[in-house]
Amino acid sequence: MAEEKPLVEISKGLNGLEKIVLRQVRGSSTEVYLYGGHVTSWKNDHGEELLFLSSKAIFKPPKPIRGGIPICFPQFGGHGNLDQHGFARNRVWSIDTDPPPFPTASANKAFVDLILKPSEEDLKIWPHSFEFRLRITLGPGGDLMLTSRIRNTDTKPFSFTFAYHTYFSVSDISEVRVEGLETLDYLDNLKEKERFTEQGDAITFESEVDKIYLSTPTKIAILDHEKKRTFVLRKDGLPDAGKFQLVWNPWEKKAKSMVDFGDDEYKHMLCVEAAAVEKAITLKSGEEWKGRLELSAVPSSYRSGQLDPQRVLQG
Ligand SMILES: O=P(O)(O)OC[C@H]1O[C@@H](O)[C@H](O)[C@@H](O)[C@@H]1O
């Protein structure tokens, strides 16, 4: 019998938008829309969804998709003249059929390479030529990796901010802890970016949160007690970017004000975003920046004390 191989399929998604489905032999899968270069689904070997996608998400340009992993580029949030979070998340990307060599081995991995180049219209609002290559990889064990390679193809330098705006699916936000950010300094977006220091143990949630943590470690864990699941987030090669981590949950009031978000859905999501925000990245002509995010979901028996979160962080 032929050996089973990971699969890469192109199909039509919602509203006829093109999507790519990556499947691993043990059952994990991920879906990526060309619209936004946007990962909308990531399932483990048991077919359980690991990312949050709003039931009210609007899969129609120019509205970005609510949930999954939006790519914020060339501007994070309102830090500039562009629309919130830049335009990469609401442009149609292409499949990159001839990507430059990739340093890591691809054996047994399912992956797809996407590319975004600015259109004439984009150049009017952000006058810099670039090539943004995004590789999305599903490892044999179901780990999801996103690698961004952004090249300045212009004659002049440019600067940008960036984020992987990852929406995780959680059973109940009040049962969730984030480990790895405790005792760090953060800027509070809800208090005009005033700087505070996180006190005490792991981060828990009981109201709206919109914080930019500074000088964060390369590994962070999200513990979902009810689901007995721990997400481990690793970021590599994000030299400056790796120092920032955003944590966002709109909570009840803001949720109600968002057209593409269910009133109660804030209970089932948490955004923990690897980002380059406070200090923009500058690329000279011909230079390339690379930022990688790796996500894994492991069963945790944290409640019964079998899994020490510190081991997850340091291991
Ligand atoms: O509604 P958007 O544009 O997708 O943004 C969602 C949120 O994204 C977060 O990253 C920001 O810190 C929040 O301030 C913002 O509300």
* One pLDDT digit (tens) per residue for the chain, 315 residues: 556 788 999 999 999 999 999 999 999 999 999 999 999 999 999 999 999 999 999 999 999 999 999 999 999 998 889 999 999 999 999 999 999 988 777 788 999 999 999 999 999 999 999 999 999 999 999 999 999 999 999 999 999 999 999 999 999 999 999 999 998 999 999 999 999 999 878 899 999 999 999 888 888 999 999 999 999 999 876 655 456 789 999 999 999 999 999 999 999 999 999 988 878 899 999 999 999 999 999 998 644 344 454 555 554
ipTM of the prediction: 0.98
Gap between the Cα atoms of 64 and 260, Å rounded: 10
Give the type of residue at 179.
E
pLDDT at 170: 98
pLDDT at 90: 97
Give, for 252, the enclosing helix (H) or strand (E).
helix 251-257
Q: Which of 85, 208, 246, 253 to mutate to test the pocket of ligand 1 (most atoms within 8 A of CB)?
A: 85
Cβ distance 313 to 298 under 8 Å?
Answer: no
CA 251 vs. chain centroid, Å, equals 20
- Does the beta carbon of 248 lie inside 6 Å of ligand 1? yes
pLDDT at 202: 84
Q: Has 89 been labeled as part of a binding site?
A: yes
pLDDT at 4: 78
Atom of ligand 1 nearest to the CA of 165: 10
Gap between the Cα atoms of 23 and 138, Å rounded: 8
What is the dotted CATH code of the domain comprising 7-314? 2.70.98.10
pLDDT at 107: 82
- Does the beta carbon of 36 lie inside 6 Å of ligand 1? no
Q: What is the pTM of this model?
A: 0.94
Active site residues: 165, 273
């919130």: which residue's tokens?
A: 84
């359980």: which residue's tokens?
A: 48
The string of DSSP letters for 167-208 reads EEE-S-GGGEEEES-TT-EEEEGGGTTEEEE--SSSB--SS-
Atom of ligand 1 nearest to the CA of 78: 14
The full set of domain ranges for the chain reads: 7-314
How many angstroms separate the alpha carbon of residue 289 from the centre of ligand 1?
A: 24
Give Cα separations from 280 to 75, 133, 288, 294 (angstroms): 9, 19, 14, 22
Cβ distance 194 to 154 under 8 Å?
Answer: no
